[in-house]
């Protein structure tokens, strides 16, 4: 048996066959941060950014990205997501906006990539909408916080501190 799941016996790219897997409720949560100036955070909070409502635009972008994950990441299965939610927490004391994304479905494969894609595109959208005000922003800390369901069961990011806990 081939040890690599995304490569066939000849070394060619291979989409994993999940048809024999059991369906289960699966959920994943991911997070990421955009570090920005105090002035830029204030513009986001007060809705004075010249490009418009930054957080609403980034939320929609993140949801759309999760739904298009299979078009962006090679060999990802197209999934029938039952729920995608993207949220923001302004953490002015840390000079950042925290983005979280939750993806959920009942299916045969996990949704970690969809949650990561949602966070990635949402943080990129925050950057795009605020770059005129603060071109030195930093996107950082994108990771899966937890996943629920599937054969391997539930998983939580190790040593998750209280600051990033969901």
Per-residue pLDDT tens for 137-160?
999 999 999 999 988 889 999 987
Per-chain mean pLDDT for the chain: 92
Residue 98, both tokens = 């925290």
3 state SS for 58-74? HHHHHHHHHHCHHHHCC
Residues with catalytic roles? 128
Q: Of 11, 67, 31, nearest to 164 (Cα)? A: 31
Mean pLDDT value across residues 132-138 = 97
* Residues 106, 24 contacting (CB under 8 angstroms): yes
The pair of three-digit structure tokens given for residue 134, joined into one six-digit string? 């603060």
CA–CA–CA angle 162, 163, 165 (5° rounding): 60
Element (H, E) at 86: strand 83-91
The string of pLDDT tens digits covering residues 7-48 is: 777 778 878 878 888 889 999 999 999 999 999 999 999 999
Residue 35 pairs in a beta bridge with 96, 138
All structural domains of the chain, each given as residue ranges with its CATH number in brackets, are 28-156 (3.30.70.640)
Rounded to an integer, the average pLDDT of 50-59 is 97
Provide the angle, in degrees to the nearest 10, between the axes of the packed helices 54-67 and 112-130: 150
Please tell me the pTM assigned to this model. Answer: 0.89
Better-predicted residue by pLDDT, 125 or 23: 125
Q: Which comes out higher in pLDDT, residue 7 or 120?
A: 120
């Amino acid at each position: 048996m081939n040890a690599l799941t995304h490569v066939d016996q000849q070394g060619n790219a291979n989409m994993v066959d999940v048809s024999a897997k059991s369906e289960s409720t699966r959920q994943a949560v991911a997070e990421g941060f955009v570090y920005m100036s105090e002035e830029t955070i204030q513009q986001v909070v007060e809705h004075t950014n010249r490009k418009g409502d930054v957080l609403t635009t980034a939320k929609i972008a993140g949801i759309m990205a999760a739904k298009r994950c299979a078009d962006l990441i090679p060999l990802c299965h197209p999934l029938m997501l039952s729920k995608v939610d993207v949220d923001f927490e302004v953490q002015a004391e840390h000079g950042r906006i925290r983005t979280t994304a939750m993806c959920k479905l009942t299916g045969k494969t996990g949704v970690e990539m969809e949650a990561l894609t949602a966070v990635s595109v949402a943080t990129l959208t925050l950057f795009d909408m605020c770059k005129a005000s603060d071109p030195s922003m930093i996107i950082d800390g994108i990771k899966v916080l937890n996943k629920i369901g599937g054969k391997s069961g539930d998983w939580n990011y190790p040593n998750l501190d209280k600051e990033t806990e969901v």
